[in-house]
Structure 1
Amino acid sequence: MPPKPPGVKAKALGAWLRVCREEAGLSLREASEAADWDKSTLSRLETGKRNVSADEIAQLLGVFRVRGQVKKEIMALARTMDEPGWWGRSEGVEGLPKESVTLAEYEGMATRITNWAPLLIPGLLQTSDYTRAWLRGTGTSPVGIESRVAMRAKRQQILRTSVRYVAYLGESALRARVGDAATSARQLAALREAGSLGTVSIRVVPGNAGPHAGQLVTFLTLEFPSAPPVVLVELLRSSIFMDEQRQTEPYFDTVTRLAEVAMSEAESARLITHLQVRLTEHGEARSLG
């Protein structure tokens, strides 16, 4: 049986190792020389294009001087490379969830990203004020809020590249008040601006679209030129990444269904503009009162 090609765990492990190398202050060349590896081998590992053994990971962690809990977590992932699926839990809110780094890496490698967000504007489209208002409402600490705002702002730079980004937004996500009227109005204006980018498509799924599988879950699909697609499913305090076809196929089927019931880009833009104007007028009326 031929070896299994690198999948989601290889990408996650590679992203984590790249962060460790950079924190150690080593260039790719310096690290490969210290480990007595070929530079191209380490590069392929960091970009998730090469499978790696636990012994090789242990060697690299020694070069990077990684110790303690971080080493334990990386080695635990390395030892389960052949197991399908994995949970990326965020154990605290003071800093970034561990999966945020991996997700940013995936987004940087993807050629197409599709987001389904039935109740909340997705992170790649959120304004900083909207993010802060929502995180405050969830009880996130000030330190955790600012780190996540900064991370989302950095992730959003991907929308200015050649990646194709398609966002299906539930109508409820547009109408939900996050922060005051002015914050929500600015968020809607930002959606209109993002929708004007040539690589971004924003389509609204109306509340009367009828039953569909997307009503059950929020998710993100990422497609790559030479690796299996990845699906990220968001939960309350954790996320799950999947790259097995039997796991990801239902989500791609759901995307097809969303495309059938969603408004067109033009219709969506008109609805967003209408809701923005109403919120702006409401905010102005309150300030005059």
Structure 2
Amino acid sequence: MNQAELGAALRALRQASGKEAKAVARSAVMSTAKLSKIENGRVAPATADVERILTVLDVSPEIKAEYLAVARAQATEATAWRLFRRMGYHKKQEQIRALESSMALLRLFQPSLVPGLLQTPEYIRAVLEPKGLTEAQLFRTVSARIDRQRVLYDTSKVLRFVVTEPVLRWRLLPPAMMAGQLDRIVSVSRLPNVDVRVVPLDAPQRDVPGHSFVIRDDRVVTVETTHAEVVVTDPRDVSLYVEKFDRFASVSITGDAMRDLVEGIRDAFLRERETP
């Protein structure tokens, strides 16, 4: 099945479902024009696009697996951030939320920033402000990311985070706000379906961080670079990221030991705030 055939097959599934294109596009977090281009074979859909469409159409697991296998034939997809900005970063957050709603397992490695699902509103704003958004755009994107965080409380999902110790010390906010961000990490780490780990600076290492990445259900990896978001779906490549995640998880600390480390850094921020 090629690109045109995949689009035609998706259109046939939608028509068989009795759902209008506008309703499917809205639920799949894309424009009706984009859905039309996919269905008519004029644009190659990203794997995430196909998955959202199939989820809305409520197809059988067998059909979903077959169609996703075709979508993954193009193993790596890159979308420039300028395109997301044109679309609206809040729309990107809505797309991620739709993807996370259908996953069972998330594994996230982050050597640079507090992961988005763990960020406080103040931290989110600090991350987004260099992007030059208007106040209205900033408000909508912050709100959309906070809305995504509801997935943390869905006990049908397992969420695993591994961050490096410098993430906890990187001063994107004033000391008091950084202390609040670290409190947030400690609080979320106590949720029964959430595992937060920290790779301490004094731990012997067998690997180098490189960059952040997110693995969802052993099926898709998302990598954020300076200019674009890269999506990897070839199982051979996905397995490389799973192995890298496991290596860092194996040298990280979790549970009370992790919370002791985070709270120690938090207390240092608080003492700094209190210093005349």
Q: How does 1:143-162 map to 2 (within 5 A)?
A: 143-162=136-155
Measured in 1, the distance between the counterparts of 2:207 and 2:190 equals 29
CA deviation after TM superposition for structure 1 residue 84, in Å = 2.2
SS of 1:179's partner is: coil
Aligned partner of 1:134 in structure 2 is 127
Among residues 193, 197, 202, which one is paired with 2:187 in the alignment? Answer: 193
C-alpha change, 1:78 and 1:169, in structure 2 (3 Å) is: closer
* AA aligned opposite 1:142: E
Unaligned ranges ≥5, structure 1? 18-31, 47-60
% identical equivalent positions: 21
Aligned partner of 1:76 in structure 2 is 43
* AA aligned opposite 1:77: A
Measured in 2, the distance between the counterparts of 1:195 and 1:182 equals 20
Q: Note if 1:37 corresponds to 2:19.
A: no
Aligned partner of 1:20 in structure 2 is none
Unaligned ranges ≥5, structure 2? 47-69
Among residues 95, 99, 105, which one is paired with 1:106 in the alignment? Answer: 99
Give the alignment's Cα RMSD to 1 decimal. Answer: 3.4
4+ residue runs over 6 A deviation: none
Measured in 2, the distance between the counterparts of 1:149 and 1:280 equals 25
Q: Note if 1:265 corresponds to 2:251.
A: no
Aligned partner of 2:56 in structure 1 is none
Q: Note if 1:178 corresponds to 2:178.
A: no
Q: Note if 1:120 corresponds to 2:129.
A: no
Measured in 2, the distance between the counterparts of 1:97 and 1:233 equals 19
SS of 1:254's partner is: helix
CA deviation after TM superposition for structure 1 residue 36, in Å = 4.2
Q: Note if 1:246 corresponds to 2:241.
A: no
Cα contact 2:111–2:164 (8 A) shared by 1: yes
* AA aligned opposite 2:249: A
Aligned partner of 2:158 in structure 1 is 164
Cα deviations by residue, 1:110-148 (Å, 9 ceiling, x for unpaired): 111111111110100000011112222454443332222
CA deviation after TM superposition for structure 1 residue 244, in Å = 1.0
Cα deviations by residue, 1:4-23 (Å, 9 ceiling, x for unpaired): 9xxxx99xxx9xx9xxxxxx
* AA aligned opposite 1:204: V
Measured in 1, the distance between the counterparts of 2:38 and 2:129 equals 29
Cα contact 2:37–2:43 (8 A) shared by 1: yes
C-alpha change, 1:205 and 1:165, in structure 2 (3 Å) is: same
Measured in 1, the distance between the counterparts of 2:206 and 2:224 equals 18
CA deviation after TM superposition for structure 1 residue 174, in Å = 0.2
Cα contact 1:134–1:179 (8 A) shared by 2: no
Aligned partner of 2:62 in structure 1 is none
Measured in 2, the distance between the counterparts of 1:137 and 1:206 equals 28
Cα contact 1:89–1:99 (8 A) shared by 2: no
Q: When the two structures are superposed, what TM-score results if normalisation uses the length of structure 1? A: 0.70
* AA aligned opposite 1:272: V
Measured in 2, the distance between the counterparts of 1:159 and 1:211 equals 29
C-alpha change, 1:182 and 1:139, in structure 2 (3 Å) is: farther
